[in-house]
Amino acid sequence: MAANRDPILAVEDIHTAYGLSRVLFGVSLRVAPGECVCLLGRNGVGKTTTMRSIMGLTPPSSGRVVWKGRDIRRAAPFRAAALGIGFVPEDRRIFADLTVWENLDVAARRARPDGFTTERVFDLFPALRQLRDRAGGFLSGGEQQMLTIARTLMGNPKLLLLDEPSEGLAPLVVDHLQEQIARLRSDGLTILLAEQNVDFSLNLADRVYVLEKGHIRYEGSAREFRENASIRQQYLAL
């Protein structure tokens, strides 16, 4: 299966701390091209820190972050972005005073033949086309989440890191978001998703990792995970 293919991203035994506060203790995970991999775990276990470690926002003190065969553990965040890693942070930092279109336009990189344009992004998120002239600050939570993802796509990422996209959204909005992310997947984008929402994750993911207190406790296909009630109870308390 996909996990055995050459990974586009391999996180190998990383340890990450904020000052003296150690958070990740030897986290390893792999993402193959075209895969959707989910990092599941309860609040505070280190999901965001794992993503920040990959992006170089909080560089790991040891281990390796291997992108297409090269260790980028010490690379600056803008380098990771330029290499093709797009990070959608959980706090949806859009520009409240800019319109939807302007939010996308400021994020555009130099045009590439295979790259994203505002038109292509509007094709993927038709709701945003309707809202193109509305200020970011006047969007609903779900619309802001779509805009945050869309804006990251404007940087032409090969891998999308999605940090708890479903958080704080109403169930119907979560369903819609799930469809949108599924479309990105079928469009060929590789995705690493951090989530607490198990149903949302399992509907999208090929493979799952469960993180607990900075350790990976489980790794398996989404199907195996669905059937493993004891893991869910033990680490996710479901």
Ligand X SMILES: Nc1ncnc2c1ncn2[C@@H]1O[C@H](COP(=O)(O)OP(=O)(O)O)[C@@H](O)[C@H]1O
Footprint of ligand X on this chain (CB under 6 A)?
18, 21, 23, 41, 43-49
Report what 171 binds from ligand X, Mg ion, none; CB cut-off 5-8 Å by kind. Answer: none
Provide, rounded to whole angstroms, the least separation between the CB of residue 111 and Mg ion.
33
Report what 45 binds from ligand X, Mg ion, none; CB cut-off 5-8 Å by kind. Answer: ligand X
Contact 222, 38 (CB under 8 A): yes
Strand 215-221 with 207-212, pairing: antiparallel
Provide, rounded to whole angstroms, the least separation between the CB of residue 15 and ligand X.
13
Residue closer to ligand X (CB basis): 103 or 166: 166
Q: Cα 130 to the chain's mean position, in Å? A: 25
Q: Alpha-carbon distance 88 to 227, whole Å?
A: 30
Residue closer to ligand X (CB basis): 47 or 92: 47
Contact residues toward Mg ion (CB under 5 A) are 47-48
Burial class of residue 99 in the structure, from the number of CB atoms within 10 Å of its CB (0-12 exposed, 13-18 middle, 19+ buried): middle
Provide, rounded to whole angstroms, the least separation between the CB of residue 49 and Mg ion.
8
Report what 49 binds from ligand X, Mg ion, none; CB cut-off 5-8 Å by kind. Answer: ligand X
Provide, rounded to whole angstroms, the least separation between the CB of residue 214 and ligand X.
7
Bridge partners for 67 per DSSP: 9, 70
**Helices and strands, number each (H, E), in the chain:** 10, 10
Report what 56 binds from ligand X, Mg ion, none; CB cut-off 5-8 Å by kind. Answer: none
Phi, psi of 49 (to 5 degrees): -65, -35
Residue closer to ligand X (CB basis): 120 or 213: 213
